[in-house]
Chains A and B, each alone.
Chain A
Amino acid sequence: MYPYQLDRIWNKLTYSGLGVAPITIISPEALIDAVKKTPGAIGYVEKLKDENGFYIIEIKD
C-alpha cells in the first residue's frame, strides 16, 4: 500500500462521517511517546531505541 492510498482512506473516513482517522503526531519521538501514553494505541516507526513498554510486530518484505 502506498502513502497516498492511506491518506485517501483516512480522508474518506474523516470527511464523510464513516469513521475516525489516526491522530497526527509531529515527530517519530513524539509518536513513540504518544503510543506509550495512550492505552490501546498503535503506531509504526522505522527504529525503536527503547523496547520497554511495547508489543513489537516486525514486518519484513
Chain B
Amino acid sequence: MGFILLKLKTKAAIVFIKKLLILATVFYFFSTNAMASEEDFQLHGFFSQGLIDVNGSNFVNDDGDLSAELTELGLNGSYQLSSTLRLAGQVVYLDGGNRYNDGVRVDYALLDWSVYTNKNLQINLYLGRYKNNHWLYSSTRDVPFTRPSIILPQSVYFDGFRDIAVGADGISVKVSHSSDSLGYFDFNLSTGVSPISDEQTKIILSDHAHGDMKHTYDLQASLYWQPVLSAWRFGLALLDSDFEYSAAEQGDMFIDANITLRRYFANVLYEGESWEFSSEIFQERFIFDDFYYDGFTQDVIGQGMYVQSQYKVNNDLNLLLRYERFYANKDDKKGHDLEDSTQGLVPSYFAYQHDITTGFSYDLAENFRVQFEYHYIKGTARLTPVVLPNPHINNSKNWKLWAVQLMYWF
C-alpha cells in the first residue's frame, strides 16, 4: 500500500508547517494500491551559475583571473514502478575549473527497492549508481541550494576526490528505525566502485601519470542518531577503499602502484529555529605502495575538522561562519619533514590547509537564491595534483577566494 504526501507551496505554507505540532492533520487513507499516473513520475532539476575569484592558488584556474567556471546544472526523474520499486536517475553538468573534471555525467541511476516498511522500521535497497549518503553534505554536494556554502570544507569534501567520493556503482542499503524511547536511527551501508577518468587520474596523482587508475574496492558505512524530540543529531562514518595504478607501457614517469584510503568520521548537527551548528571531524590513512620505485611505501595519517554556524536572520537571509583545519600528516603538522624530504621542492605549507569562511545566502524569490562567500586560507594541502603537488604555481602560503552564485530549482 503506497501513500502520497501532499505539500503546500507558498510562504503561507511555511506558517502551516510551523503549526504542524499544534494544528490539525488531515489524514486520508485508502485501502487500495492504485495511484494516479501523474504521481508516478516526478521531474526535478536545478540551474546555477556563479563567479569565483581565487587569489594566490590554482584552485580554480592557473591565471588567477575572475572565473565563470562555477556552473552546476541537474535534471532528475523518479518513476514509481510499483508500491515497492522505483527507478530514479539524475544527469548533471558541472564546471568547476581545476577543481574537478568538467562535463556531463550520470550523477545517479538506480533501482530503489523498498524491502520492508512498518511503523518503526524502513529498509531500502539501492542498486546501480548511488550517491554517497554517509557524510553531512555528501549526497547533494553539487546541488547548490542544499549546501551551506558554494565551496564545501575541503578537508572533508575535497574536490580533488569528488568523482570518487560522490557515489559509486554497486549496492547501497538504508535502514531507518524510530523508537519512542531512544529516538531516530539511520544506518547506511554501501559497496561499489567508481569509474576513474584519465583527467581524474592526473588530478590525484600528477600530470605525468599516463597510466590507468582503477577503483577496486570500496566499503562505506554510517550511523546517525537523533534523540527523541532533540534538535541535535550525531553521526559516525567509515570508509575503506583501494585503488590500483597501472603505469603506461611507454613514457610513464611512474610504475604500477597500490593505494589505500581509510577514513573515520564523527559529526554533529544542531538545527534550531534561528541557529544552526554543524561539525565534522575525521582521520584518514593514506597508504601508497610502489609508484615511484619498486618497494616504495608511504603511510601517513591526516586529520581534519570544521565547525560551522548558520544564523537565519529571517525567512530569506541566512548567515554563515566556518572555521576549518586540515593536516595531511598528523606527525608533520608544520610540514618541516615534507620540505626536508623533497629537498625544499615542496614547501612546508603543502602539509596543511586551514580555512576561515564567512558568507550569506538570500532568497530572491521562491526557489531562487543568491549565495556569496569569502574564504581566507592558510596552506595548500587540499590543492591538486594530490600526490605530486605543483609548488611552482602555488607559490603562496596564504590565499583567498570569493564566490557568488545564482541558483534556481524546481
Contact residues of B between 23 and 47, Cβ < 8 Å to A: 23-30, 32, 34-36, 39, 42, 44, 46
Bound-complex Cα distance A40 to B130 (A): 28
Interface string of A1-35 (1 = CB under 8 A from B): 11111101011101111111111111110011011
Q: Which residue of A lies closest to B16 (CB)?
A: A46
Cα–Cα, bound, A58→B12 (Å): 20
Shortest Cβ gap from A50 to chain B (Å): 11
Bound CA–CA A12/B186 (angstroms): 14
Instruction: Judge whether A59 and B146 touch: CB under 8 Å.
Output: no
Which residue of the partner chain B has the closest CB to A4? Answer: B312
CA distance A41 to B29 in the complex (A): 7
Residue of B nearest to A44 (CB): B25
Output the least CB separation between B379 and chain A (Å). Answer: 31
Q: Is the CB of A41 within 8 A of B28?
A: yes
Secondary structure type dominating chain A contacts: mixed
Are A21 and B146 touching (Cβ within 8 A)?
no
Q: Using a Cβ–Cβ cut-off of 8 Å, how many residues does chain A contribute to the interface with B?
A: 51
Complex contacts, B86 vs chain A, CB 8 Å: 20
Q: Are B21 and A58 in contact (CB under 8 A)?
A: no
Bits for B1-21, please: 1 = Cβ < 8 Å to A, else 0: 111111111101110111111
CA distance A44 to B6 in the complex (A): 8
B80: interface (CB < 8 Å):
yes
Q: List chain B residues, Cβ under 8 A from A47.
A: 24
What are the 3 tightest A-B residue pairs by CB atom distance, in nearest-first order?
A: A22-B7, A16-B139, A39-B30
14 more contacts with CB within 8 A, not counting A15-B74, A21-B42, are: A11-B145, A14-B78, A15-B143, A17-B88, A18-B131, A22-B5, A23-B39, A40-B29, A42-B26, A43-B6, A54-B28, A57-B25, A58-B25, A59-B24
Residues of A within 8 A of B (CB): 1-6, 8, 10-12, 14-28, 31-32, 34-48, 53-61
